[in-house]
Every structure is written in C-alpha cells, then in structure tokens.
Amino acid sequence: MDLRAEKRQHIDTLIQLSEGKENGTGSFRDVIRRSWERCMGEYRLDPSRPRAARVVTHQTLREHQETVDELLHVARVGVDRLYAQIAQLGYVLLLTDNRGIAVEFRGERQQDLALRKAGLYLGADWDERYAGTCAVGTCLHDAQAITCHQSEHFDATHISLTCTAAPITDPQGQVIAVLDISALRSPRFLESQNFVLPLVNLYARMIEDAYFMHRYRDCLILRYDTAREFVHLNGKGLIAIEENGSIIAANSNGRLMIDAHLRRWPAWSPGWSPSITELFDVEISEVLGILSTSDDHLRAVRARAGDITYFATLIEPRRRRIVGQSLPTSPTPVPALDVLATDDPSMHKVLKLARRLCNEEVNVLITGETGTGKEVLARALHESGSRAKGPFIAVNCAAIPESLIESELFGYLPGAFTGGRRKGMRGLIQQADGGTLFLDEIGDMPLPLQTRLLRVIAEREVMPLGAERAIPVDLRVITATHRDMSRLVADGHLREDLYYRINGAHLRLPPLRERADRHYIIRSVFDALVAERQQRGRLRADAMSALLAYTWPGNIRQLKNALAFALATVEGDDITVYDLPEECLGDKPPPPVTLIQAPAESPADDSQVLLDLLRHARWNISQVARRLGVSRPTVYRRMRRHGLIPPNQLR
C-alpha cells in the first residue's frame, strides 16, 4: 500500500473509533488507544485534517531553552554519546522540555529539509495537544517511556515515523525533559524497535543522575547499588544528605526506596522524610566514615524496607574536596593560580607544581600550544610569589626585530651605537631587577644573544652595550614556547646549555580542547569580557554547547576573540549559537524556520543551497543577492518559494 492509501486507511480507523466502532482498533496497544481517545475527546483533534509539523519561532525556542538551561549543559555529553550510537542507524535525537518543544537536536545535515518537514527538528512542538499521539507528547502525559511506531501516531502526517521517548525527572520527581530518538523510515513491525526503548531509557537515567549530581554537588551524596562492583561506576541509587543524616533529595531509584520505607512506616506528619539512618540500618558516623574506614570506599548497608543488602559509597561535596583532604600534599591555595583551572587533571598537576615553585628561585619553562595561557600562568606565578611587589617584564622574542633585540634586552650606554638614544637606555633585563623576566618564544632569540642571556642567568649580571663593567641583577627568568624544545635544540636553534639553565622546572599547559574544565574557562573568559566592557550579556545553553564542542586550534585566545565578537555584534543581551563566529560552529544546527509546503517542482537541492547561503550570510539578503548575482527581490521570491523565513521574522 502506498503512503497516501495508508493515511486514508489510518484516518478511517480513527473516525470509526470516534463513532464508537471498534473495527481494526483492537490490535492497538491500550496506551495508544487511550491517547487517541484523549486526542479526539479532550483535545478535539480532527483525524481527517492532518496538520503539518509545527516549529516554534526563534524567540519562543530561546524562552523554552532558558527554562532548562542547566539541564541542557549537563545533558550535552549524554546527548552526544547517544547520538554517536544511533546516527549510523538513521535515527535523529531530540531533547524536549516538559512542554514538548525540542530544545536540543542532533541529526544528519544532508536530511535537513526532510527532517524539518517531519518535525524532527530544533524547535519542533511535540505536545500531544497539538501533534496528537506521539512518543514525546504521550510520554509527557503518562510520565513513562514509550515507543510510538508508525500508524500508532494519531496524526496521519506522522505515520511513517518511528519515535521512542523516555522522561527525565528532576530530584523532586517532576518530569523536566524528554529524551527522544526517531527515524523517518523503519521496518513495519513494532518489534524492530525493541532495542530502542532500553537504550533511550538508559541514557535518560544517566542524564537524570548527572543532573542530580550537578544540583547537589555541594552536598554529601550516598551512592548505592546491590552489585558491589557497580557502585563506583554506575550505582543506581543517589541520596543527598546533610551531615546529620537528614535526607535532602534522591534520584528516581532513591525515591522508590524512600516511598517503600514510608509505606511501611508511614510519616507522622506531612512533608516528613526519613533520615538516612532510618532508611538503612547504619549509624550516621558509619556513613560519614565510609571513605576512611574501608579500602575500596564501600560499605555494606541493609535497607530496613525489604531487608535488602546494598553496597554504598559516599561522595563528598565538591567544594570541600578541592581545598580539603583529597589534595593533602598541595601547599596552601594561591588565589592567582587557583583561578586558572577547576577540574582538569593536567591542570591540577601544573598548578600543584606551580604552587610549590612560587617562592623558589628555580627558572621555569612553560610550554603549550599558542594561546593556551603561558603568559597568564607566568604572571600568576610572579604574582603569587615573594617577587610580587617587583616588576613583571614580558618580552616576546618573536615580536622584536632581530636587530633590536640586543639593545632592547641588554640596554646600552650613551653613544654606544649610532642611532641610539643620546642618554642611553636601561634594557628590559635591568628593568626586571627585583622581579620576573618573562621571555616568550625563547626559540626565536638569535644564537649570539642566547650566549649573553646564559651569562645573565648564570652570573646574575647584565652587560649593557658599550659598558665596561657588568651590572648585578636579581631576577627570576620564566621562558615559554609553543615549539618542541628538544627539536629546537637538536636543530641547533637553541643552545643546549641555555636549555638546561631555563628548564629548572617544566610546566606543560594542555590545549583547550583537551581540558575537562572547558566550561569553567568559557565562563570565566566570558564573565571577564562582560565586566571589562561593562555590558550585560548572557551565554545561552546552545552557544555554550557549541563552544564546548569546538576544537579551538587557537585555544583560549581564539575563544576570547570569539566571545568578544559575539558580545560586539549581538542584538540584545542573549548570546546564542547564531551569534558566534561562523568558524567555531562546526556542525551547528540550522536555525528553526517555519516550513511552508514547498511546491513539488522546487528541487530540494536548490532550497538547501539557498538555506546554506542565507545562514552563512546571517540572513543578510543583500549579501546573498550579491553572491548569487541576482537582485534582492529575486532572493526574497526564492525564499518564499522554498518557505524560508528569516528567524527574526517568525511569529
């Protein structure tokens, strides 16, 4: 049967159901039939009038994204991992808020138009009241995972789709979002989707738990499971508690346990929740001592309801752990250094060593790709140590013309050379006396000067040009390069003896793309820019998501430039993915556009090309007209023909 005939049959079936005839509907699942009845009885949807998928306006989408901003940030990794598993199988992924609006989307760009038409798109509205029976809408209504396969959809528009959705609840048990994976085409039988439901459920639970851990990161959290081996990896239960044991919140598994407990020992007053010591047969001191009293940081605990043995571990509050016991050997925190990173293991190592070096006279070599913050780290080292009151002189050896490096660095006496200042000049090395000399791109220093620098470092004295006697200097030298030092030495660009002198300690800065604390860096660079420009600005979740996903070849410098660009060009206060420079967007999802049915003769390819051009030009019609060599009215005409409306004109 072709699709048109199938749609007709589907509509007939639903009309018969509305007339109280059961013909053909008996084979449908109860959950689907109940939803169909809601659609016709409660929402007054007319099965004979299929409706096109609805995509909300850009502004409305933003408002919906805003309500789940924090969740979107936490969910990103889960969303990307799930999509990586299903993309090859022809599925797309939607994350909707609790109103059914798709606030995150992953899909194949080549299928852009078809997906948008089907409502498998950013900004699509899958509320059951509008779209009829569907995975997202029905999952939201019933608060449980569901597959809605082909003709189980109410609206005939959707009967070629297969969709599976699972709810994501907040720590209070309210559904805050829905995770959905869908495909345009699939085998006819529902059983073909059997593997999908557990997969979506699994990721929904992981996102839910990640959100729980994020929300209660400053609390003690008891994590437990019946399998000892799984507690640390993926323990099912999470319960946030106060130091005295009273329960603050629990994830879905934890809430089940609390419910079971309350059923057995009903609360004596409304709102009462048991202490962890009532839930499990343990003393609070035993719970608090889990980490110190057992080698594997686990303890067997018996749940009073059901008499089941679980294995539990304790997760300490993040803030306390950073400054507390888990870094027992690190010296006291140093503010200028501490702000440079949060949760990145390589940066922890760098900063731990840097803290120790603050007050040492050891020369430090900092390496790292361009823009990773080598100068920022050098400055923080200076400001954190005993030389903080002295000068910090930064010299970029690559930026000074070779003919000037010598005089700039070493200075000169009056009349030392023609063209010099009449009174002579104090060189940068002398200017750093009592403080720190930071030599960036040391590999670009000419070899003869390297010899003279070696003497400065070894003898602690400098000989200005034209001078007869060396002048003592008291300085610490920090050098930096983005190049491979051993290669520079091997190629004869850097004196080996100088290399050993400057390399008293080596700090390697990781590139931004490898840092686990990218979110923190993006936030702090953004906050600093906003403060500096005295501008109001908010980084929306979709922008943050794109920034986190990009690989940043220019590292923090490039990030800073991208954010400065966005702040300079944004209209209003909210920076979204569309305000970021084109080059750092990678696979940015296209902006939502209202789809007006395209006439059959308009080739999809033309439409895609036009859409790409418009996006690239940020919907600047004159620019697109110039690119195509046509007039502006022609561009508008073509846009109308393909149903393309600029995001800012969507109602």
Ligand X SMILES: Nc1ncnc2c1ncn2[C@@H]1O[C@H](COP(=O)(O)OP(=O)(O)OP(=O)(O)O)[C@@H](O)[C@H]1O
**Taking CB under 6 A as the rule, does residue 371 contact ligand X?**
yes
| Closest chain position to ligand X (CB) | 373
State the nearest-atom distance from the C-beta of 440 to ligand X, in Å: 5
Whether residue 411 contacts residue 426, with contact meaning beta carbons closer than 8 Å, is answered with yes
The residue range among 48-56, 84-92, 279-287, 372-380 that interacts with ligand X, by the rule CB under 6 A, is: 372-380
**Taking CB under 6 A as the rule, does residue 370 contact ligand X?**
yes
Of the two residues 168 and 478, which places its CB atom closer to ligand X in the complex?
478
- Which residues, 6+ apart, have CB-to-CB distance to 632 below 8 Å? 621, 622, 625
**Taking CB under 6 A as the rule, does residue 373 contact ligand X?**
yes
**Taking CB under 6 A as the rule, does residue 368 contact ligand X?**
yes
Q: What's the sign of the alpha-carbon dihedral 381, 383, 388, 391?
A: positive
Calpha distance 165→35 (Å, rounded): 15
**Taking CB under 6 A as the rule, does residue 115 contact ligand X?**
no
**Taking CB under 6 A as the rule, does residue 556 contact ligand X?**
yes
The residue range among 304-312, 368-376, 399-407, 533-541 that interacts with ligand X, by the rule CB under 6 A, is: 368-376
**Taking CB under 6 A as the rule, does residue 372 contact ligand X?**
yes
Burial class from Cβ neighbours inside 10 Å (0-12, 13-18, 19+) for residue 483 reads middle
**Taking CB under 6 A as the rule, does residue 444 contact ligand X?**
no
Interface of this chain with ligand X, residues 143 to 172, rule: CB under 6 A: none
Of the two residues 47 and 368, which places its CB atom closer to ligand X in the complex?
368
Q: What's the sign of the alpha-carbon dihedral 553, 554, 560, 561?
A: negative
Q: Which two tokens stand for residue 562?
A: 């991208």
Of the two residues 15 and 376, which places its CB atom closer to ligand X in the complex?
376
Whether residue 125 contacts residue 592, with contact meaning beta carbons closer than 8 Å, is answered with no
3-state secondary structure of 448: helix
> Any alpha helices (H) in 368-517, and if so which ranges?
374-384, 402-410, 428-431, 447-459, 485-490, 496-502
Calpha distance 266→545 (Å, rounded): 44
DSSP state letters, 196-259: HHHHHHHHHHHHHHHHHHHHTTTSEEEEEESSGGGHHHH-SEEEEE-TTSBEEEE-HHHHHHHH
State the nearest-atom distance from the C-beta of 346 to ligand X, in Å: 13
**Taking CB under 6 A as the rule, does residue 557 contact ligand X?**
yes
Interface of this chain with ligand X, residues 4 to 23, rule: CB under 6 A: none
Residues in the interface with ligand X (CB under 6 A) total 19
Interface of this chain with ligand X, residues 332 to 361, rule: CB under 6 A: 340
State the nearest-atom distance from the C-beta of 143 to ligand X, in Å: 43
> Which one among 117, 482, 518, 615 touches ligand X, defined by CB under 6 A?
482
> Which one among 525, 563, 625, 639 touches ligand X, defined by CB under 6 A?
525
State the nearest-atom distance from the C-beta of 548 to ligand X, in Å: 16
Calpha distance 497→489 (Å, rounded): 10
State the nearest-atom distance from the C-beta of 525 to ligand X, in Å: 5
The residue range among 33-41, 91-99, 152-160, 363-371 that interacts with ligand X, by the rule CB under 6 A, is: 363-371
State the nearest-atom distance from the C-beta of 404 to ligand X, in Å: 19
State the nearest-atom distance from the C-beta of 198 to ligand X, in Å: 42
Of the two residues 86 and 584, which places its CB atom closer to ligand X in the complex?
584
The residue range among 36-44, 312-320, 524-532, 638-646 that interacts with ligand X, by the rule CB under 6 A, is: 524-532
Tell which phi-psi region holds residue 49, choosing left (phi > 0), alpha (psi between -120 and 50) or beta. beta
**Taking CB under 6 A as the rule, does residue 374 contact ligand X?**
yes
Whether residue 571 contacts residue 603, with contact meaning beta carbons closer than 8 Å, is answered with no
State the nearest-atom distance from the C-beta of 572 to ligand X, in Å: 25
**Taking CB under 6 A as the rule, does residue 560 contact ligand X?**
yes
Nearest residue to 120 via CA among 142, 90, 144: 90
3-state secondary structure of 349: helix
Q: Which residues pair with 393 in a beta bridge?
A: 437
Amino acid at 591: P
**Taking CB under 6 A as the rule, does residue 200 contact ligand X?**
no
State the nearest-atom distance from the C-beta of 561 to ligand X, in Å: 9
Backbone angles phi, psi at 168, to 5 degrees: -120, 125
- Which residues, 6+ apart, have CB-to-CB distance to 30 below 8 Å? none
Compose the 260-299 pattern: x for residues touching ligand X by CB under 6 A, - for all others.
Answer: ----------------------------------------
Whether residue 72 contacts residue 165, with contact meaning beta carbons closer than 8 Å, is answered with no
Q: In this structure, how many other beta carbons lie within 10 angstroms of the beta carbon of residue 417?
A: 11
Of the two residues 525 and 593, which places its CB atom closer to ligand X in the complex?
525
CA-based Rg of the chain, rounded to a whole angstrom? 32
The residue range among 15-23, 156-164, 519-527, 630-638 that interacts with ligand X, by the rule CB under 6 A, is: 519-527
**Taking CB under 6 A as the rule, does residue 313 contact ligand X?**
no
State the nearest-atom distance from the C-beta of 376 to ligand X, in Å: 4
Calpha distance 475→431 (Å, rounded): 10
**252-282 burial code (b ≥16 CB/10 A, e <16):** bbbbebbebbeeeeeeeeeeeebebbbbbeb
Of the two residues 376 and 416, which places its CB atom closer to ligand X in the complex?
376
State the nearest-atom distance from the C-beta of 355 to ligand X, in Å: 16
**Taking CB under 6 A as the rule, does residue 376 contact ligand X?**
yes
Of the two residues 482 and 501, which places its CB atom closer to ligand X in the complex?
482
State the nearest-atom distance from the C-beta of 425 to ligand X, in Å: 25
3-state secondary structure of 60: helix
- Which residues, 6+ apart, have CB-to-CB distance to 217 below 8 Å? 317, 318
State the nearest-atom distance from the C-beta of 539 to ligand X, in Å: 15
**Taking CB under 6 A as the rule, does residue 301 contact ligand X?**
no
**Taking CB under 6 A as the rule, does residue 507 contact ligand X?**
no
What residues make contact with ligand X under the rule CB under 6 A?
Answer: 340, 368, 370-376, 440, 480, 482, 521, 524-525, 528, 556-557, 560
